[in-house]
């Protein structure tokens, strides 16, 4: 592994270093030269990794499109990671350089992992968000730093993808939690929904990517004060601070449902540049 620093010169968290070292050691042993580059995205790219909450999001750049032996080597390497470091999840995809130079819509299915589970062919992470994070916010663990000269970017396509995500996934999620008060009252719903939908609102409003925590801080400035308790709660849950709702989980659930529905509607109402 060639790099162990991220953000503004900060060291990678120990669990992240252990996870990526295990993966690279295993894959290099069985398929030397296959993985030419390894880049960390997501919260790590913004220097906001939250232990116990963040995953290790990655893009691996392969020397060539993997055949049977290479696919088996990738599977074995991810199995080693799961066995030795079950959390945080090592989630991402394995691409060749030509894949990254064009729109993800033109990319074939790729070997990928989601929640630590490896698949030989899938589309997890094959989307404009990953490509833009890779070009603008990724941390090189192996290989040279990537830029927009190496990776396809298109701000209009990023916004369009985010708007579809809001209209489809998040509208459906808002309806689902409204129909299930018990699930809505749980801590996962508050963190996932409040920060997730705020992150898309941030992108549509500003054109910039951010983390879940960054989205929460943005939401405190973008939405009216009566929404601040549930936003603050979502940030506290993500960052390990005490809940301000205490045992009143029903109120937290009701606030999560209301905020999610409001923020979806507000995001979709933002003007298209």
pLDDT band at 52 (very low <50, low <70, confident <90, very high): confident
pLDDT tens-place string over residues 209-237: 999 999 999 999 999 999 999 999 999 99
Global pTM value: 0.93
For residue 88, whether the previous peptide bond is cis, meaning omega lies within 30 degrees of 0, is yes
d(CA 263, CA 269): 10
Write down how long the chain is.
273
d(CA 54, CA 177): 23
* Averaged pLDDT, 184-202: 97
Cross-strand partners of 110: 122
Backbone angles phi, psi at 266, to 5 degrees: -65, -40
Q: Is the pLDDT of residue 195 over 70?
A: yes
Give DSSP secondary structure letters for 111-168.
Answer: EEEETTEEEEEE-TT-SHHHHHHHHHH-EEEESPPP-TTTS---HHHHHHHHHHHIII
pLDDT at position 8 = 45
Q: Which of 70, 58, 62, 67 is nearest to 22 (CA)?
A: 58
pLDDT tens-place string over residues 27-39: 999 999 999 999 9
Q: Is the pLDDT of residue 3 over 70?
A: no
pLDDT at position 72 = 98
Buried b (16+ CB within 10 A) or exposed e, 75-103: bebbebbbeebeebbbbbbbbbeebbeee
* Averaged pLDDT, 238-267: 96
pLDDT band at 186 (very low <50, low <70, confident <90, very high): very high
pLDDT at position 4 = 39
pLDDT at position 53 = 87
Percentage of the chain surpassing pLDDT 90? 92
pLDDT at position 10 = 57
pLDDT tens-place string over residues 92-117: 999 999 999 999 999 999 999 999 99
pLDDT at position 41 = 96
* Averaged pLDDT, 20-28: 97
d(CA 22, CA 204): 37
Q: Is the pLDDT of residue 1 over 50?
A: no
- Spell out the domain ranges in the chain: 5-142, 155-269
pLDDT tens-place string over residues 141-159: 999 999 999 999 999 999 9
State the chain's mean pLDDT as an integer. Answer: 95
Which helix (H) or strand (E) segment holds residue 76: the answer is helix 68-84
Residue appearing with tokens 């960390």: 40
Q: Is the pLDDT of residue 179 over 80?
A: yes
């Amino acid at each position: 592994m060639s790099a162990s620093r991220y953000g503004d010169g900060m060291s990678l968290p120990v669990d992240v270093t252990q996870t990526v070292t295990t993966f690279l050691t295993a894959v290099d042993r069985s398929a030397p030269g296959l993985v030419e580059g390894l880049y960390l995205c997501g919260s790590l790219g913004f220097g906001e990794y939250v232990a116990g909450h963040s995953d290790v999001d990655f893009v691996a750049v392969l020397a060539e499109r993997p055949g049977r032996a290479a696919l088996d080597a990738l599977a074995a390497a991810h199995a080693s990671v799961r066995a030795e470091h079950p959390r945080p999840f090592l989630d991402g995809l394995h691409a060749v350089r030509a894949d990254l130079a064009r729109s993800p819509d033109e990319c074939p299915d790729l070997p990928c992992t989601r929640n630590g589970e490896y698949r030989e062919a899938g589309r997890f992470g094959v989307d404009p968000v990953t490509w833009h994070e890779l070009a603008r916010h990724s941390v090189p663990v192996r290989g040279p730093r990537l830029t927009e000269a190496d990776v396809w970017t298109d701000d209009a396509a990023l916004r369009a993808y985010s708007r579809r995500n809001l209209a489809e996934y998040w509208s459906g999620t808002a309806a689902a939690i409204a129909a299930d008060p018990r699930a809505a009252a749980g801590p996962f719903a508050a963190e996932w929904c409040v920060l997730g939908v705020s992150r898309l609102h941030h992108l549509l409003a500003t054109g910039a990517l951010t983390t879940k925590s960054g989205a929460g801080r943005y939401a405190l400035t973008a939405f009216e004060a009566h929404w601040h308790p549930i936003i603050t709660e979502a940030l506290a849950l993500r960052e390990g601070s005490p809940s301000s709702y205490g045992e009143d989980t029903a109120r937290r659930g009701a606030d999560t449902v209301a905020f999610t529905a409001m923020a979806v509607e507000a995001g979709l109402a933002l003007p298209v540049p």
